A and B are shown apart, each in its own frame.
Chain A
Amino acid sequence: MHSNNSINKIITNYTLCLIPLILYGVYKNGIIPYLYYQSNLWIILKPLIIPIGAYFFGYAFEYFQHHDVSNSFTPLLCLISAMIIPINTPIIIYLICLIGTLLLNKFIHQPINLFILPKIIIALYLVLFATYTYQNSYELSTNLYYSPLDLFFGRSFGGISATSTILCLISYIFLFNTAIYKKTIPPLIIGSFILTSLILSPFYGFTTILHNFLNSTIIFSSIFLATIPIYSPITKQDTLIYSLFIGITSALLVSTLNVYESVYIVIFIAPFITKIISKTLRRYRHSSLI
């Protein structure tokens, strides 16, 4: 006797939600530059091949390891890791990072989302070779002025397939009805991010704060990455610590680093920090009881 809940169901729901984002990524980073340049077909295919290739690479890796792929988060995490990297990422570099992550994931049994590592390494690589940008070739060659509504619909700069705020919000509504989805995490992260940003707005200006929010990085990462069951906490207290830590620290870090990496770095370390804070609180509560 069992409920309808299954691991496969949550993975399928996540994947289904990501499909419109991938397609929008193809439109924004593939079709628009292709129409502008009228150049080779690779421009269209790249934003499609990188995420799908990453998914099947993760699938194959997991298949050769355990054979049971339907209940593994690895292909999904590979897909998300590909969706958040810049469009000008050299495929070979991403592939090396992905292989390294998959191998590392095999040996590290700590609750840290290693699949964020490729993004961080690639950002470092691009900085090192002075090619760091989240704009596609069309955006680089044109002077663009986007309204907040444009940004909301996904015209902002960002990862290959992670720029549409509206699609992220629709996905959240869909995932909200999935029993296993940790639905309290995204509103807590976004709420604390906005609140901290508003407090900091006299220093950085309201436009920057609005841009950081509509950029969709915080929304995408809080809906899809921060809620991945394996890496997120389960109790009410831990969820609160985890979400507030991500929201507040991201808002603080955004002003010193940038919005594209800071949120992911915070999500990368958040499970660890939550564990430490939770343990400290428990010890404190235990000692105060004695």
Chain B
Amino acid sequence: MYQTCRLNKDLNVTYKSNISTYLNPNYIYLNGSLIDDLTQGSSVYKDSIVTKDPVCFSSVSGSIYAVKEKQIIIKNDFMENYEAPKRASKYAKYTDQIIFKLLQTYHFSNPQIIEELAKSPHTILINGIDDVPYVNTRTYLLNNLSEIILETCEILNTTIKPEEFILTLKNTDAETIAFYNDHVGSFPFIQYRYLNDEYPLGYKEILCNKLSLEEANTVLITIEELLEINEIIKRLRPLSEIYLSIIIPSGKSFILKTKLYTNLNDIITEFNLPKDQIYYLNNLLLKQTIDPFNYLIDNTTKALYILPPQEDKPLPCINCGICYTSCPFQINPLDPEEIKKCRRCGLCTYNCPAHISLGGDSRAQ
């Protein structure tokens, strides 16, 4: 049994009602080494492969501006030129094999999902819940891109043919629940499950446990991954734009749609974000700070918290064991052997009365 908990959300976070975009960076920065066909000055198409180790697609069209050790800078020509205009027919006949092939070709960000889908799973579970504190990306995507989401669900359902197709929603998102309830008739295969606003729900084992599903026979796909699947199978192009929550308690937080490999510094300048504050990455519980002037947005970037500097001086450990008892995976963060299995949910740090950064945090830093 995995235990979840309600978090103390004492920050006053309100979101702007629409999605902000930053899709025209002057430069993008790809970490990796240049592929053999390209040199400095070469032209690159949007969505063409530019680097190897790791393979990175260019999210803009333009020219290779500079080649540094393990970093390639591409100057945007703002033309959005593709190698050949490609778009799958709206009525294309998808088969599971075609989908797997496309996902592999376009380097789908979570290859494990391809493997799991290939095993004809009993359940496809779409996670529409933002369990990470103050993050609101999935709720926004569910509300604003519902057509694409439901269409992709239908494609997956007709090709993979799972016994169950479940979409989880937070039971506090009244607007989202009402909207999707209206579409029950059009997409009858989708079962909606409503869960409490608890943490952590983003882990497959925990979510399966909450929904009484067999973990081995379930494929967990997040809303962001579902949109990436749509991008690949419908538009035949890799992921080039991502959505992330920018959380500013002192001001208006917003959901940002931006190009991959954009420098955060450009976003700070564009949106006039505070420069004298601390930038935390992805999950505030992990307290993982980044240098905002030297950070590249990639597909692991999910959220950015911009908070004033806080003096959180840790006290000596009192051996109370709450880090162990509160861990949903029953890992003892004080055991150097067990810490290797840490899943980085951050609950140990959140609960520690001595304010010590435990578990995954120390590894993250």
Please report A residues at the B interface, Cβ cutoff 8 Å: 1-7, 9-10, 68, 71, 73, 111, 179-180, 182, 229-235
Contacts of A180 in B (CB 8 A): 320, 322, 353
Query: By the criterion CB–CB under 8 Å, are B319 and A3 in contact?
Result: no
Knowing A2-B8, A4-B8, A7-B315, say if A229 contacts B351 (CB, 8 Å).
no
**Chain B 48-86: CB-based contact to A (< 8 A → 1; otherwise 0):** 000000000000000000000000000000000000000
Is there a chain A Cβ closer than 8 Å to B355's Cβ? yes
5 additional A-B residue pairs with CB within 8 Å, beyond A2-B350, A6-B353: A1-B10, A1-B284, A73-B318, A229-B318, A235-B321
A232 to B321 CA separation, bound complex (whole angstroms): 9
Query: By the criterion CB–CB under 8 Å, are A234 and B8 in contact?
Result: no
Please report B residues at the A interface, Cβ cutoff 8 Å: 7-11, 133, 284-285, 312, 315, 318-322, 324-325, 332, 334-335, 350-355
The one of A10, A68, A230 that contacts B353, using a Cβ cutoff of 8 Å = A10
Contacts of B322 in A (CB 8 A): 5, 179-180
Contacts of B332 in A (CB 8 A): 234-235
Query: By the criterion CB–CB under 8 Å, are A230 and B350 in contact?
Result: no
Query: By the criterion CB–CB under 8 Å, are B8 and A111 in contact?
Result: no
A18 to B312 CA separation, bound complex (whole angstroms): 31
Expressed in whole angstroms, the minimum distance between the Cβ of A275 and any Cβ of chain B is 12
A3 to B351 CA separation, bound complex (whole angstroms): 5
Query: By the criterion CB–CB under 8 Å, are A1 and B11 in contact?
Result: yes
Contacts of A235 in B (CB 8 A): 321, 324, 332, 335
The one of A2, A10, A71, A230 that contacts B315, using a Cβ cutoff of 8 Å = A71
The one of A5, A68, A111 that contacts B352, using a Cβ cutoff of 8 Å = A5
Contacts of A182 in B (CB 8 A): 320-321
* 6 nearest A-B residue pairs (beta carbon): A234-B321, A229-B320, A5-B353, A180-B320, A1-B284, A229-B318
Contacts of A3 in B (CB 8 A): 7-8, 350-351
Expressed in whole angstroms, the minimum distance between the Cβ of B344 and any Cβ of chain A is 15
Question: B316 — nearest CB in chain A belongs to which residue?
Answer: A71
Query: By the criterion CB–CB under 8 Å, are B350 and A1 in contact?
Result: yes
Contacts of A71 in B (CB 8 A): 315, 354
Contacts of A2 in B (CB 8 A): 8, 312, 350, 355
Q: Could you pull out 13 A-B pairs where Cβ atoms are within 8 angstroms?
A: A1-B10, A1-B350, A3-B7, A7-B315, A10-B353, A71-B315, A111-B319, A179-B322, A180-B322, A229-B320, A234-B319, A234-B332, A234-B334
The one of B7, B312, B351, B354 that contacts A7, using a Cβ cutoff of 8 Å = B354
Expressed in whole angstroms, the minimum distance between the Cβ of A271 and any Cβ of chain B is 10
Contacts of B133 in A (CB 8 A): 1
A235 to B315 CA separation, bound complex (whole angstroms): 21
A4 to B322 CA separation, bound complex (whole angstroms): 12
Expressed in whole angstroms, the minimum distance between the Cβ of A120 and any Cβ of chain B is 23
Query: By the criterion CB–CB under 8 Å, are B353 and A9 in contact?
Result: yes
A179 to B325 CA separation, bound complex (whole angstroms): 10
Contacts of A1 in B (CB 8 A): 7-11, 133, 284-285, 350
A3 to B319 CA separation, bound complex (whole angstroms): 17
Question: A234 — nearest CB in chain B belongs to which residue?
Answer: B321
A2 to B8 CA separation, bound complex (whole angstroms): 7
Knowing A1-B11, A234-B332, say if A10 contacts B319 (CB, 8 Å).
no
Question: A282 — nearest CB in chain B belongs to which residue?
Answer: B337
Expressed in whole angstroms, the minimum distance between the Cβ of A235 and any Cβ of chain B is 6
Expressed in whole angstroms, the minimum distance between the Cβ of A138 and any Cβ of chain B is 40
